Every structure is written in structure tokens, then in C-alpha cells.
Chains A and B, each alone.
Chain A
Amino acid sequence: EAGVAQSPRYKIIEKRQSVAFWCNPISGHATLYWYQQILGQGPKLLIQFQNNGVVDDSQLPKDRFSAERLKGVDSTLKIQPAKLEDSAVYLCASSLESAANYGYTFGSGTRLTVV
């Protein structure tokens, strides 16, 4: 079974620029999550999709972050404009269903550095 694919692996941008991350979940997984992991901290949920609908985006800074999951498969996370404090690893995870006992599979993440 192929894992969760993310790209790019690394990205360096200047503040106020825009950036986009891509995630391809495991085939058939209905639930997709984007987490932000700042250095020295645990991952924090940004947004959760069930198929192509958003079920939780309460911690997404909507003035600069946006995400979509077209056709309930791939997802993109965008930041525009980026700030220095957005430097972090952005992790995508997917799950068969949203119930926690199914377990989540994480991708390798995209490390963003904003200079």
C-alpha cells in the first residue's frame, strides 16, 4: 500500500510571498488532515476534510491560509502572504474514516522556512 505523498519536501521563501503544498492521501481514505508542526512543539491541526468537505478548520488562520480537497482525493494547502512565524513542518495525514480507532497515516511532511 502506497503511503501519504507530500510535495515539496523542502521550501524556502521570503516573507510576504505565497507558497502551496500538495498532499495525495492513501487511496480510499475519506478523511484528510493538515497539521502544522513548529520546531520543538507537537503537531497542531489546521484543517480536517471528510471527503471533499471541511469538518474542522477552527485553528486555520483564514486570513492567510487556505486549503481545498477537490474531488475528495488530493489536497493543497496555501499560505498567502507568508510570515516568519509560518516556518514549520506541514504534515498531511489520512485515515479510512474520522474515527480515531482507525489510525492515521502521516506523510513525510514539507519543511517550510520563511526568511
Chain B
Amino acid sequence: AQSVTQLGSHVSVSEGALVLLRCNYSSSVPPYLFWYVQYPNQGLQLLLKYTSAATLVKGINGFEAEFKKSETSFHLTKPSAHMSDAAEYFCAVSEGTGFQKLVFGTGTRLLVSP
């Protein structure tokens, strides 16, 4: 079964600082990988996805992620954090052939201080 590991349940940064949220996956085949963001009392919103095209994927709100097969990683970055980026971030990997589903990590809460 596919799985993802998100290192760090909480990450704290100052406004304007680099954001780095880590995700490592385990997959026996080339995976599809996703990052979702969840604001309080809301559902999950897709930030970006990797579907075996370019290894550097750009998403919404200035976020991007790089697929590194040698490191089995798909870390999420943003050059400069905004207060509005404070939320929970989930990494997910697709699983299954034919009928696919998403398997999520445990999430990382991003805290942004002024």
C-alpha cells in the first residue's frame, strides 16, 4: 500500500520567511502526488499536484513542490510566508489501479508569526 510521511506536525515561521513542509512517499510505482491545504472549519483545497510531467510543480498562492524520485520526496515550499498561509497542509499519494483513491499524510500545521 502507498503511504506518505509528513515530518513535523507543526512548523513555525515568521512572516516573510521561507516555508518548507516535508513529505516523503512510499510507492512501488511512479506515483501521483498532491498537496492540499485546509483552513479552519473548511474542507481541503488543492494546492498543486504532480502527475509525472515536470518535476517542479507550481501551485496556487505562490507555493511550489519538487518531485525527487531519488529521495522519494515531494516537499512543499514558498519563498515568503504570509499571515494568510497559516493553515493545515496535507500531502497525499494516489493508490490503486483502475479505481484510484488518495491516501493522506497526518498533516503539518503551519504557524506564521508577525
A33 touches B104 (CB 8 A): no
Within 8 A of A (CB), among B67-114: 90, 92, 94, 96, 98-107
Chain B positions within 8 Å of A41 at CB level: 106-107
Closest residue to A111 on the B side, CB-wise?
Answer: B41
Q: Is B45 part of the contact surface with A, judged by Cβ < 8 Å?
A: yes
Chain B positions within 8 Å of A105 at CB level: 46
A100 touches B43 (CB 8 A): no
A101 touches B32 (CB 8 A): yes
User: With the chains together, A50 CA to B100 CA distance in Å?
Assistant: 11
Please tell me which one of the listed residues A40, A45, A108, A111 contacts residue B102 in the complex, with CB atoms under 8 A apart: A45
A98 touches B49 (CB 8 A): no
Total contacting residues, chain B, CB less than 8 A: 26
CB B74 to nearest CB in A, in angstroms, measures: 14
Q: Is A61 part of the contact surface with B, judged by Cβ < 8 Å?
A: no
B98 touches A108 (CB 8 A): no
Within 8 A of A (CB), among B10-67: 32, 34, 36, 41-46, 49, 51
A100 touches B32 (CB 8 A): yes
Within 8 A of B (CB), among A39-88: 40-45, 48, 50, 55-56
Closest residue to B90 on the A side, CB-wise?
Answer: A42
A42 touches B101 (CB 8 A): no
A103 touches B46 (CB 8 A): yes
User: With the chains together, A21 CA to B69 CA distance in Å?
Assistant: 40
Chain A positions within 8 Å of B107 at CB level: 40-42
Closest residue to A50 on the B side, CB-wise?
Answer: B99
Chain A positions within 8 Å of B96 at CB level: 56
B44 touches A43 (CB 8 A): yes
B102 touches A44 (CB 8 A): no
Q: Is A26 part of the contact surface with B, judged by Cβ < 8 Å?
A: no
Task: Sample 14 A-B pairs with CB under 8 A, ordered by A number.
Answer: A42-B92, A42-B104, A43-B104, A50-B99, A93-B43, A98-B99, A98-B101, A99-B100, A100-B51, A101-B49, A103-B34, A105-B46, A108-B42, A111-B41
Q: Nearest 7 A-B pairs (CB), nearest first?
A: A100-B94, A42-B104, A106-B43, A100-B32, A55-B99, A101-B51, A106-B44
